[in-house]
Amino acid sequence: MQCWNCHTDFAPGTLLCPRCGKVQPPAVGATLFDAFGLAPRVDVDIPELEQAYRERSLQVHPDRYTTAQARERRFALEQSTLLNDAYRTLKDRAARAFYVLKLHGLDLSREDLGTQKDMPLDFLEEVMQLREALDGHREKGALEAALHMAGDVSVRRSTALAEAEAALRQLLAHPGQDAARTEASHALARVRYFTRFLEEVDAMEEEALEG
């Protein structure tokens, strides 16, 4: 890559030109991993990520460039926004897994769980059973029963996330492995549903406290 101001060459992921110190724009097509100079990965050292975030955020914080020319102010804002998005996503284990899968062509945030026709039948049946049971507890005001279900679902969510991560490691090692991609997508679909279920139970608990 090359500095827009002094045309000095620099490595991808560099925020400030090593020669003139100007803020550089995010590379075209930059990923959230690129914001920290990382290759896509499932496992991230969170303390190291936090330290890198603090250091890099200080370098491009928009308040430092209020008197800079318009182009550099814009680049500082773009880099700061990318860093914030990257940190928020990569520090969260589940969000990071969903993002790695997205980099491999499948964005589950754009898919309605009910329309995923390739999901295993036993999972779809499980979803229906959980939904019916939770609706029944909600109608009866049986919060304790719902919380008991939530404990079981939380364990299932953790298991599904671990399965997704294992499949994604395989996918990163062998990008063309369709079986690993499918396994990861199915596991993360379960994670997404279980997360929504737990959020609904949390909402029930909040309502009970407010009542």
CB 77 within 8 A of CB 62: yes
The domains found in the chain, sorted by start residue, are: 1-91 (1.10.287.110), 108-210 (1.20.1280)
DSSP code for 25: P
Residue with the bigger pLDDT between 37 and 109: it is: 37
pLDDT of the residue at 114 = 43
What CA–CA distance (Å, rounded) separates 32 from 100?
10
What rounded mean pLDDT belongs to the chain? 93
CB 32 within 8 A of CB 89: yes
The residue among 195, 188, 161, 182 whose CA lies nearest residue 93 is: 161
The alpha carbons of the chain give a radius of gyration, in whole angstroms, of 22
pLDDT in tens, 104-151: 999 987 655 444 557 788 888 988 999 999 999 999 999 999 999 999
What CA–CA distance (Å, rounded) separates 20 from 174?
40
Find all residues with CB under 8 Å of 146, minimum gap 6, and list them.
134, 137, 138, 201, 204
What CA–CA distance (Å, rounded) separates 136 from 39?
46
Residue 182 pLDDT exceeds 60: yes
User: Token digits for 123?
Assistant: 């999972």
pLDDT of the residue at 121 = 86
